Amino acid sequence: MERKEIYLAGGCFWGTEKYLKSIPGVKMTEVGYANGIIPNPSYEDVCHRNTGHAETVRVKYEPKYITLTHLLNLFLQVIDPTSVNRQGNDIGNQYRTGIYYVDPKDETIILAAITELQKKYDKRIAVEIKPLKNYYPAEEYHQDYLTKNPNSYCHIEKDAFDRHANPLSIRRPPLLYQQRLAPLHPQGKYGGRGVREIPANIR
């Protein structure tokens, strides 16, 4: 079955990953550092050494079950798309919002989604849209962090993580939810973080 990739930066990648993983049609998530200026950065590099990376979630999804447009709409619901280098209590360039694509054909879809979003805001949308230049997986303790540490800080409201269990709670329910996962085809941290400390036992 066909799978596609998109890379989404929405502030702290702990909560962004958990939220995206909960979406039906998303088959794999991984947190990492994208579009920076040095190879293989560490968390400390990204937080303290101005590497230019964004905390990013790598997403593999099945377009047969969820469109890129709808995936982006769900992502954009849980961030402040007008905020520059900040989401929640997390402040810094690494917490900027972005959509990084690997398929050039996706650019048109992304731009259309942002154009529609802009109609709802007076302030300028600050989500950057760029090809993925580089991506490095984050340290293992960051992967599925909120699943391992459910009481940790997160900038995303906790009820968002369970939202997809109830199709009626989705603001713009797609065909995906109406058909209960039937195929769409008819044949079918540091630095300004507030409270985000790495537990001593994983350092």
Looking at residue 165, what is its pLDDT? 54
**Nearest residue to 126 via CA among 148, 98, 151:** 98
pTM score above 0.75: yes
Q: What is the CATH number of the domain that holds 41?
A: 3.30.1060.10
Number of domains in the chain: 1
Q: Rounded CA gap, 27 and 30, in Å? A: 11
Average pLDDT over residues 122-149: 97
Answer yes or no: is pLDDT of 17 > 60.
Answer: yes
Answer yes or no: is pLDDT of 191 > 80.
Answer: no
**Residues labelled catalytic:** 12
Confidence of residue 2 (pLDDT cuts 50, 70, 90): confident
Confidence of residue 159 (pLDDT cuts 50, 70, 90): confident
Q: Rounded CA gap, 96 and 37, in Å? A: 16
Q: Rounded CA gap, 180 and 161, in Å? A: 18
> Quick one: DSSP state of residue 158?
G
Residue 98: domain span:
4-202
- 6, 74 Cβ separation under 8 angstroms: no
